[in-house]
Every structure is written in structure tokens, then in C-alpha cells.
Structure 1
């Protein structure tokens, strides 16, 4: 692994030479005297501090996110005192923190935090609730990362805490064994509705803020139970959750932003969709994906993310597996649990994976490893300059999920095994053993290849698959892979003509502005690019997308039509050759054989016994 100064702070031995548990815990008090205006008032007591300035910092990154987020921007009204209440000198050495000097071994560091985005990355505070992602909320001190932490929440009447932190009823606090665990512990405060049950000797709980009915929550909990059981069936049991429970921390409120974020013994679920109607299945899909993460990425963890560095962006070459294989299984668990029919599973999961993989210019050019390494630039990263990712990138969720689908089918067809068996083997070797709230043996890509050879009993196959599809960018032959399941890959709009570009229609003058044109498309081949404006197609104005579709429907692929365009060099008319719409779908064959149906059942049917 790379060794940076910030990383060394996270792995150096304690300055005092004492066991972490014997040192004074870092104590946090989080209060909400001005919640209506989205503020929290937070104080942190650092005791037993060695001589010299104490370096207090806000995180710049967050577990499960890979870009920088600069949480210090929402911190103000900073002050510090010593054990006697004496005001200390606070200097700001950089945009991300504060150096506190002149202390007597104790520093009480106090600040106001603004937060009005309820999702898995930031803090959302209002008079109804507080949803706190800890890197966005709690300051920490360099050199004290291995100390335990105690957090006290001064909550409004009727609020309770949903968190993976261990409660200490006697103190009225919540405990974390070290900074890594603390920062990995999102907490939701508010009038929780709780549904809790025992699953394979472990406590699973839903702690939910929502505006719906108890009956809706009961039905949602039953669907969640089915997903949990299907996930446990893949691995032969549940992980040993550190404090005996796993918590779905769910905010389904109008003011929330859609997100799901995995954590070691919990997940943060945020959505403005209710628990009934069309949005309920989308919410359940996030539940399924995030729960699978309690194995894959939380305990089965890539070596290049250990330990997580809160002061810089974290890059991994394995997100195609950590997120992409989880993407595949999140949808597959919905099918196995009965939330999807076969046809719905193809429409909502398999078809989109196949279409994205085979029609993305980026997937044909760059590997899943490369896509994983791009995460610091795309995972909720903010930038104002244009980019060419439409032609150079496919999300590691999709490229990884598509390769998981391909690998599962290859193993079933040619090696008398399946991806479930592979995931269990990875779990046994690189996930099941944990030490100090972290994986004892985080994996490398070579480990994943080696285990594939063991499971398939074919090391040549494993090496070939990784070389061609993981380190390389060869596209799977999905038509061949899906045929044994009685499934067909076909053009969704066969025979329809297309320009192959994304457009924004301008009602004011009946024109259409182009987005980035895709490599190989009719518009790209004609030399048109983003911000070029279509004034007329085949002599006609374009008031709406429907008007364009109607015009194209009158033509066939291969027809040449004149386009009047305004580019950066002026207005001109050019001929453009129309292409067939490339959108793909995966459908059930109406005459599938018994053998094909049996193959499909073995793949998609419930594994709960």
C-alpha cells in the first residue's frame, strides 16, 4: 500500500505506549439547540493529551465513498478550552482543521455544524430528525485514532437513536472501540419505528423514520426478512456482528435524498419514496444491495482500502468486485425472495446490465480495474468542467455486475458450480476471520483469481477470465451465455432509425442541444459534439422529443438525412446517415425447453431451505 503522512497517522502505535482501552476515551456531546435551522452544537473532550499542539481535523472522505467531500466547510464558531475552562489558542493551518496549543493535557473543542442533506454522506438536521454521517459530523484528533469514543446525544423529546454504536444505558452514551469504527457508524435520531427479529441467532432490526402507516412498515419488514434469509443462504449463515445486531437505519422522508451506504453492522438507507406504491420496490432494492455488503466490502474487503484514510481520497482496484458483484446480487436476491418475477428480473436487472455493457463505448475500451480506479472522480465527486466519461467510463457497479452475471453463467454451464459457491469460498478465506473490528485477511486481485481457479477446478479458466475480462476489456458473449436459461438478447427497438445521441429540447425556438455524442454514433461520425444545436432534421424543426421520434420513424437505418446545425464554427447543413437503435433487452423465450427451465430455476429460485 502507499504510505502517506496522513495514512501513517492511522497506523502508528500509540504515543503513550498504553493499550487503547486503558487511555481516556474521546468524549463527544452532540446537541441540537437550533435544529430548525439545521445546526448542531458539538463539543469534544480530548483528555490525557501529550504536550504540544493538538491537531484537530474534520474528515475529507467517508467510508463507502471514494471522492473528497471537504466536511470542514460546514463547521464554524470554533473554540477550545482546557480542563479549567481557560480559553486556548486555536490556529488554522489548513482548510480542514485546527491546531490547539497551550492546553493542560485536556482540550475541550467546541463547534457548530450545519447540515441539511439527509443521505449516506452528509448530515441532515431539522426539527423532526437528525441523520448524521459521522465523518461529516465529528471532529477527531491526529494521534488519538486508536482510542475508544463515547458519544452522548442530547435528543429532543420522543427521539431515539438508530445506530451500530454500542449503547451504554448507565452512562446514557454510545461506544465505539476506535476512530475507524466511530466514523463507520451513521446515526439517525428521531421518532423511530422499530421492527426487530431473530435470524440465525442474530438480531436484525429495522429502525425507520417514515410518514406512512404501521401496516406498510410491517409489509416492508416481511419483504426485508425474505431478502435477509436469501443472502444468508448464499454464505451459509450471517456474519458475527460485533455487538450482536445488524441495523437498517432508514429515513424514508420527503426531505431526504436517495442513497444507500454500507457499514460494518448497519446500513444507512435514505429515500423520499414511501414504503407503498412503485417506490417501495426501489427502496427494497437498496436494502438488498446494502445488506449484501455486510459480507462483501465490509468483511470481504480489498487490501487497498485497509485502513480507510479519512484525510484523502481512497482508491481501490477492486470496486468492480466490491460494488459490482454486490450490484448483481442485490437484484438477484430480489428475484430469489419473490419480489421480482422472472420477467421483471430480466427487465429491471439483467437487461440493463447487458445493455450497458454491450453499448457503452467505455466498456469496450477500458477494464473493470480501470473503472474501479476512477471512483475518486465519479463517486459523488463535484466538478464544474465538462468531461468525456460518456465515451471513456462505465460505472464499476455496471461493469462489475455484468461480469458477475457472465461469470455465474460460465460457472454453471462449464464447471458444475456457480457464483454462490465462489462467494462462499471468498468469504471463508478472506471474510469470516475478523480481528479488531477489521478483516484479518483483506484480499488482493490475485487472491480472487486464485480462488476462482480453486472453485472451478480450472486455473487456466480463472487466469483467462481475469486476463480477458477483469484486467482486460473483452465483452462477454451474453447471447450465448443466456441461451441455456431460455433467454434471448435482442434489439429492443429493432428496425428503428436513430441519431444515437442525447438531446435537450428548447421550446423557445424548436431546436435541440446535443449532449456528449457517443463514439461510433451517427452524430459522432458526422463530427457533431456537445453543445452543438440541431436546428432542423430533414428540413423540420424539433419542438419536442416526440416530434423527433416521429420524424425518425419515417426513415430506416441507413437512410441519409440533412441536418441543419449550429456549431462553434457557425450554421451549416450536413448529411447524416441514420443508424439502427442499439438498445438491447433480455426476454424469456416462449418455447423454452425443460432443460432450459431447469437451468433457470437452479439459478433464480429461492435458496432458503
Structure 2
């Protein structure tokens, strides 16, 4: 009896907490959208947004300025027009108060209905596009969100245009209705693109997960072959992390005359492809590489992520120095996964891996911009290239893939082929995504590398991540009994150090840093009309008639005026590496090779 009062008090407090929580849930605003296409021929999406259960004095509606996975402020609000608001059947003011914000006074108002149009006519995997053939909703550029309510659920009701019959998205259905979808919060909504139309849909099971492939635009694809090979890739990637965290996953594929690119999402991806590319082996393998890349992201970046990439700030840049891991390692694994899935050969894999080295070494910007800086500057450089980008920067995809290979070989060498980068990825996934339920810092991933490499990597980071040191490729490839040799090492071909259009007029499109054109004043945009008075037809053939060190007069038209430029030809410094096996490989080297190439 002595403990009755404390127990009763605790019970009452607990009961009060439950009631308060229930009351809070009861008064939380409800958010829904209705999407229609009355002017689809003019590329408009009509959205009706209803927010009910309001208890506040004002409501601010915002549009994201970027979409996760594509690190560029795209200003999606530029596509919104004709926004109006009503309450109790009467129009109310909804002035625009910033580039992506509309303010609505809601004192005494419990429900607001907002209508607006979204112009959608940009073909890419990250932007919305609608016409009479289909609708693609890149949701971060379609749906406004209420400020302070990113954690609120919402429903989306789609009213299809005419004969559109199918919706493909990772969003869950409501009561089995494919045209009504629900999202638990805006991070999920903005990470779940929607395809609606008459797309060809097929499915398969892989790694215990139901997969759906939605093909828009037709094409010469073989469904049965795709099912078989995509399953192999999915299971090879799942083996890296030990689990596939989805219940279902959706591939949305846009097949066009010319297509490419992909954008990852939490439980889906959008891929661009050429509708006839499946018919050639190189085209088919290229598509599988895209599949492998974007699917690997469901772990690497969507769950195992840099700490700043979630929860997202949808109004500002989200800076990280770790896109070389998030994207570069994914580029490395897109080839490794195809190899381990037995989709292509070890020789083909090595050719692609050495191709990444060639890309890095032939780009002058790799000696100007450190890898970590390339990641940080993605927001202002990666998606805004200009004529000089080749000279000033490096892709965190390309160099990140190369660095991933170096670290993989380092770990395999130090463990005698017993462990690899796979073990690092699985450890980081388990520790940070599943265990700590957050992203990782730069220092934490470095510690993860060191845990499995069995050594400090300060020097590696100083040289190759934060610095500009020349990479000792043969040191790392030597761990697996390989070396690279330059097939162009003995050539002495003269060059102007410029790139030109290959068809029609010879217009300069790029001037190579420290090349003859760079030093002697050839500009991007110049039309090269003659060399030493001879009209230019085949520029390469004309240059090959000269020797390195020759001085030539290059006649150009610049801004409509003629100029004569004396230029001293230099040796073409381009490299073309290939991999060769070292003679008499040791038992340890062979063990590393077997682990790496799954021989």
C-alpha cells in the first residue's frame, strides 16, 4: 500500500503522455495531392494540394531547389505557374515571398486547397517530362511541401490521361489502387519518381526482393535475358552488404532514340537508354553497367551515406567531400558487380578498369583539382562544365573509381586475399546505417579503410584524396601480378593540342592545358581554316606530315575576323595504358588476383 501513490502517479503520467501523443497525432495536418493532365499536349501537370487540420496562423509552401543524387541547384520553382489558393470555397491570397516560397494566412482556416501548374518538358532522369505518350513525375520538382512538415505523410491521387493504364513507382498503394499512392514523409515522396502511361512492365524476384521493370518508349530489349542478367547483378551486389533492405524495387527505363544517364532513389531508379542499344553486345553491356551502377546506390549513398546527405536541406546546397566514395566507388562496383555476376569476362573488366586510369591520366584537370575538392565543388562545377573544365577539374566518378580499385588491392594484399573493399562497405553499412542510424564522416570512413587495410592511410589520403601526387599504379596492380604499359609510349606524333568538330567547319571545342594551342593562343570557338596556307580538310593527316618542334602558321576565323597564329607543334602526350601480367607471379599475387577477379 505504501507504493500506491508513486505507482498511480507514474500510471497517470504515462496515460497523459499517451493521450497527448494521440491528440497531437489527431491534430496533425493531413496533406493530399491530386494530379491531372488536362493540357498534357502542352507539357503541363496540374496539381491540386489539400492541407487540412490546420491550427496555425500561416502556412508557407515551398518547392525544393534540387533533387537528391544530382548535386545542382535547379530551381524547380521556375516551372510553377498559376498558383491559387482557396479556403471555405473562397479565394485567399497566396503571394510568392521568395524564389521558392508562397505564404498563405490561415488564421481561422482549417483547410486550404492550392492549385498550380508545372511545366514539364525537360528530358533527363532528374526532371519531369509529360506529353501525350506518357508522364514522368520527378517528384521533388512537382510537389510543394509545407514548411516545417517534412516529416508528415501524404497521399497522391493520379487521374490518368485518356488511355494511360499503368503507374510505376516505389510508393505504396492505398487500398490496392495503383493510381493512389502514399508516402510516410517528404524524404520518401521526393525520393520516389512516378511513371504513368502505357509502359511495358515485367518483373522478377532477386535476393528475396520483388523487382519491377517499367519500359517506356519501346526498344529491342530481350525481357528474358534482362531478367536473368539483372538478377545476377542484383544478387552479386547484395552479397557485398549481406542483405537487400527493400521489399520491392522499381526500375523506370526511358528508351529514346538517344538516351543515357541514371538517377538513384531509395527503392527505385530512373535509367535513360537508347531504344535500339540492346541489340549490340556493347550497347547491352553498357545498359547492364548502368543497371549495376544505379542499383548499387540503394546501399551506397541512399543508406550508407555521407553525414550531410540526410536529412536533406531542400533549399540549399548540401556539401560533402565524400562523393568520391558515394559515386566513385559505385562506378568501381558497377564493373566489379558485372564481373562477379559472370555477366562479362575478367579481360573485359580489366580493360574497363584500365580505361578509368586512361581517363584520369589524360585529363589535365587531374593535376589541378584534388579528389576531395572535386566532390565539394560538385554544386558549382560538375553539372556546369564549360570549355575549360577538362583543364581545371577531375570527375569524382572516374578518379573515385580508380581510388576504389587501389584501396581494394591494398586491402587484399595486406590480408593475403582474405578480405577486400567488400568488407569495408559491409562494415560501414552495418555500423553507421544500421547501428548508429546516421551517415558517416570523412574521418570515420578513413578509419573503416584502415581497420581492414591494417595500416594508417594518412599518406594515401594526403597524396591521392587531398593532394595531387602522381599515382603509382604499378605498385597497386602489382599486388595482383599486373602492370600497365603505355601503348603510345614510343610514338612521336605532333599535335596542336586542340579538339575540333569532326563534321563541317573545324571549330575548336577545347584547348588542352599547356599544349601548343594553349601556349600560342588558339581559342575555343576559332574556326581553323588553313595550316601554312593549305586549307584544312583532315587536320590529323595534315599534322602528321610535320614533325614535333615544327613551327606552323595556323589561320583562324575568330568573331568573323581572320587571324594568323604561329604555333610550335608538340608531341601528343596522350597515354593509352593496357594491363599485362607480370612474369613469375608469386603465390600471394595469385591469391590477390583470384580474390579480385573471382577467378
Q: Aligned pairs, how many?
A: 568
Q: 1:590 to 1:427 in 2, by over 3 A?
A: same
The answer for the alignment partner of 1:443 in structure 2 is 440
Distance 1:99 1:196 in 2: 44
Counterpart CA distance in 2 for 1:51 and 1:25 is: 13
Question: Do residues 252 (structure 1) and 255 (structure 2) align?
Answer: yes
* Offset, 1:530: 2.7
> C-alpha distance in 1, partners of 2:475/2:120?
50
After TM superposition, the structure 1 stretch with the greater mean CA deviation from structure 2, 20-29 or 50-59, is: 20-29
- Structure 1, 154-163 or 204-213: larger mean CA deviation: 204-213
Q: Counterparts of 1:224 and 1:20 in 2: how far apart (Å)?
A: 42
CA deviation vs aligned residue, 1:394-423 (integer Å, no higher than 9, x gap): 111112111112212222234433212222
Residue 553 of structure 2 is aligned to residue 550 of structure 1: no
What's the counterpart of residue 340 of structure 1?
A: 344
User: Is the counterpart of residue 471 in structure 1 residue 480 in structure 2?
Assistant: no
**Per the alignment, do residues 465 and 422 of structure 1 end up closer, same or farther by CA in structure 2, a change over 3 Å counting?**
same
* Structure 1 residue aligned with 2:330: 326
Alignment match of 2:552 (pick from 534, 552, 562): 562
Please state if 1:181 is matched with 2:188: yes
Match of 2:293 among 289, 296, 313: 289
TM-score (norm 2): 0.87
Alignment of structure 1 residues 88-167 onto 2, 5 Å: 88-101=92-105, 104-156=109-161, 157-167=163-173
Q: Report deviation, 1:455.
A: 0.9
User: Given that residues 302 and 444 in structure 1 are in contact (C-alpha distance below 8 angstroms), is that contact kept between their aligned partners in structure 2?
Assistant: yes
Cα offsets for 1:155-199 (capped at 9, x unmatched): 244522111111112566211111111111111112243333333
Higher mean displacement: 95-104 or 84-93: 95-104
Q: Does 1:351 align with 2:348?
A: no
| 2-structure distance, mates of 1:168, 1:70 | 31
Q: Provide, for residues 49-69 of structure 1, a one-character-per-residue CA deviation record: whole Å limited to 9, x for no partner.
A: 233332122221111111111
Q: Give TM-score scaled by structure 1 length.
A: 0.86
* Residues 535 and 541 in structure 1, CA contact (< 8 A), matched pair in contact too: yes
Query: Does structure 1 conserve the Cα–Cα contact (< 8 Å) formed by 2:27 and 2:53?
Result: no
Return the alpha-carbon distance in structure 1 between the equivalents of residues 502 and 172 of structure 2: 55
SS at match of 1:304: coil
Structure 1 runs not aligned, ≥5 long: 1-15, 434-438
In 2, Cα distance between equivalents of 1:401 and 1:552: 35
The aligned residue for residue 585 of structure 1 is: 577
1:504 aligns to what?
A: 500
Which aligned pairs between 1:360-439 and structure 2 lie closer than 5 A? Answer: 360-381=363-384, 388-416=388-416, 417-433=419-435
- Residues 537, 561 of structure 1: 8 Å contact kept: no
| Unpaired stretches in structure 2, ≥5 consecutive residues | 1-20
User: Cα distance, 1:495 vs. partner?
Assistant: 0.6
Whether the aligned pair in 2 keeps the contact of 1:367 and 1:472 (CA below 8 Å) is yes
Please name the residue that 1:13 is paired with. Answer: none
| CA deviation map 1:300-325 (0-9, x unaligned) | 11012222111123222111110111
Determine the C-alpha separation between the residues in 2 that align with 1:72 and 1:268.
22
Alignment of 1:194-343 (within 5 A): 194-212=201-219, 216-238=222-244, 240-241=245-246, 244-254=247-257, 257-274=259-276, 275-277=278-280, 278-343=282-347
Q: Is the 8 A contact 1:155 1:189 kept in 2?
A: yes
RMSD of aligned residue pairs (Cα, Å): 2.8
User: Quick one: structure 1 residues 190 and 491, their matched pair in 2 at CA, closer, same or farther if it must change by over 3 Å?
Assistant: same
The equivalent of 1:4 in structure 2 is none
Equivalent position to 1:33, from 31, 34, 38:
38
